[in-house]
Amino acid sequence: METILLVDDDPAVREIFTLFLENGGFRVLAAKGGAECIELLKSSHPDLILLDLMMEPMDGWETLLAIRRSPATEPVPVLIITGKQPEPEEIVQYGSMIEDFIVKPVDFSTIVMSLHATIEKSHDLTREVFRKVREQGDPEAAYEYLRLLRLVRITRHLMKRFRNRQWADKKVFRAQEERLMELHRKLGFPDRFLQNTSGNDHGVSRSPVVNHRNC
Amino acid sequence: MPPVSIFIVEDELIEAEDIRHTLLEQGYAIAGIARSGETALTALKGILPDLILMDIHLSGTMDGIDTAEQIRALWRIPVIFLTAHADDTTLARAKVTEPYGYILKPFDDREVHSVIEMALYKHRMEEQLKENERIIRVLANAIPDAVMLVDHNRQIIALNDAMAQRIGRDNNWLQSETSLLYDANGDFTSMQSQMDKTLQSRRRVRFEENNGNEWAEISLTPVGEPFDDHVRVLIQYHDITDYKRFEEQLTKEGVSRLEQNMEQFQILNDQIRNPLQAIMGYVNLDCAKYRSHILNQIGIIDSLVDRLDHGWIESEKVRKFLLLHYRNAPEAPGEKTDGEKRVRE
């Protein structure tokens, strides 16, 4: 059974999300803040962390940095689930460290259904990266690929959210894309990793209205 | 209009009488007659004549010149000297007392009249001039700004008290100073080029100067005819320290308050979305007949918050600009260069 660590300061969100996750076949650990999350990670090894952004006193980004700083928790995939829309700058800064972001409110049942796939994809990617490191002995390039892949994916997602409004440095983004493709070919990663760089791959629609089909 | 009153100082009785007659004939009033300098000074304390006719050669301890000098020190009454013969030394002495004219004995009636009228006219003009000066001086000192007028060689022509204090000089009105000095604080260092600019362009030049904690707006205004070679320049120091401080405070506080409000606004969005999320979850658990309606409402609220979010993102350029120009805080967005480097490396 896969374990999800849920970090959110809103008790109602924690309660309802836990319910849905448990119904969806996950073991759930819940933390009401960044400090508690870091504390829980000392004794448990979740398969995915669902992280809220707006928390006091340690916010989501600080928590993310703490997670990535520790070698034990570094490879654990993090999915941001937030009421506050991430800003382009935040994506530039943290985009390479997260799987994706989801802006509340969302249909939990849809999210829960997509989480297995998210975990599988993330593990698939990290496994492949580790394999390339072992085989080719170029850890720098492999990690760069991992970071760029995430960053490009998140950037695309954000662009889609902003309905392609001019918000980011297009030149920088294009250079990142080119570098990603270069590494992809050079290191010989399977093409399936590029398939989901076209945006939100959680099957989550922004409009909750269409998501009540199970009514 | 009352007749012009004249006071006579003459030690010779006949001469005095002769003059008195002549003056009365010409329509003047006699304010009094004194036979010595001492009695003249005592008598003048009680009366204020329009003019004094003074014999230079008075018997007694004071002659006419001594007496005229005393009078000049005490009152502003024009004095005309009466003299039969004048040697150069006496005339030189008399000149110092700035007499309004000389009448030579034996006198001619018409000459007496014209000399008196000239003296009265000259005196009126001088009084008028002094009055004008007083008015200008009162006006000049009434403004808190330091003001001075300099000629094209940067010599001070006039300055008010505030300017005198600023450049550390006695304010001796209308007394030309040797040159425009640059004070120890370097207050005038930027002045030279601005001065040249003003003289060349014949246009008003304005600039701000910062001296320690003080801010001044300095304006140089050319004064004179457009084609006059000797244009003067009016230099004015306007203290804008308070204004600068206020402006600084306003922009600083204004920007940080704006930023604070925006942060609050972000938190607000989070606080709207969290309950929406909870409501949506609970509604999805229970398949009641109102579910679709509730979810619709959630959808509408969500799209509103979404639009606010887009506004927030789009306001970023403005916020960045404001923060960059009005506050140098390390937490200001756009200065997270460390993070950017980490990702791009």
Structure tokens at B80: 């005309």
Q: How far away is chain A from the Cα of B338, in angstroms, using its nearest Cα?
A: 9
DSSP label at B129?
H
Minimal Cα–Cα distance from A127 to chain B, Å?
A: 22
User: Which residue(s) pair with B208 in the sheet?
Assistant: B217
- Return the number of CB contacts < 8 Å for A and B: 116
Interface test with B, best of A85, A108, A111 (most B CBs within 10 A): A85
Cβ–Cβ gap B313/A92 under 8 Å: no
Chain B CB within 8 Å of residue A74 CB: no
Domain assignments of chain A as residue spans, ordered by start: 3-201
Please give chain B's pLDDT, 345 residues, in tens.
Answer: 788 999 999 988 888 899 999 999 999 999 999 998 899 998 888 888 999 999 988 888 888 889 999 998 899 899 999 888 777 888 888 888 888 888 888 888 888 899 999 999 999 999 999 888 888 888 888 888 888 888 877 778 888 888 887 776 665 544 444 445 444 455 555 677 777 788 888 888 888 877 777 888 888 888 877 666 778 888 888 888 888 888 887 777 777 777 777 777 777 778 888 888 888 888 877 766 788 888 888 888 888 888 887 777 777 777 777 777 765 544 444 444 443 333 333
Q: Over B236-295, what HEC string results?
A: EEEECHHHHHHHHHHHHHHHHHHHHHHHHHHHHHHHHHHHHHHHHHHHHHCCCCCHHHHH
Instruction: Write down the ipTM of this complex.
Output: 0.73
CATH 3.30.70.260 fits domain A3-201: no
For B297, name the nearest residue in chain A, comparing CA atoms only. A209
Integer Cα distance of B280 and A214 in angstroms: 13
Which residues on B lie below 8 Å from A83 (Cβ)? 269-274, 277
**How many C-beta neighbours within 10 Å does residue B245 have?**
12
Closest chain B residue by Cα to residue A82: B270
Name the residue facing A83 among B273, B339, B344 (closest C-beta). Answer: B273
Q: Which residues of A touch B339 (CB under 8 A)?
A: 92-94
pTM above 0.80, yes or no: no
Chain B residue with minimum CA distance to A103: B273
Length of chain A: 215
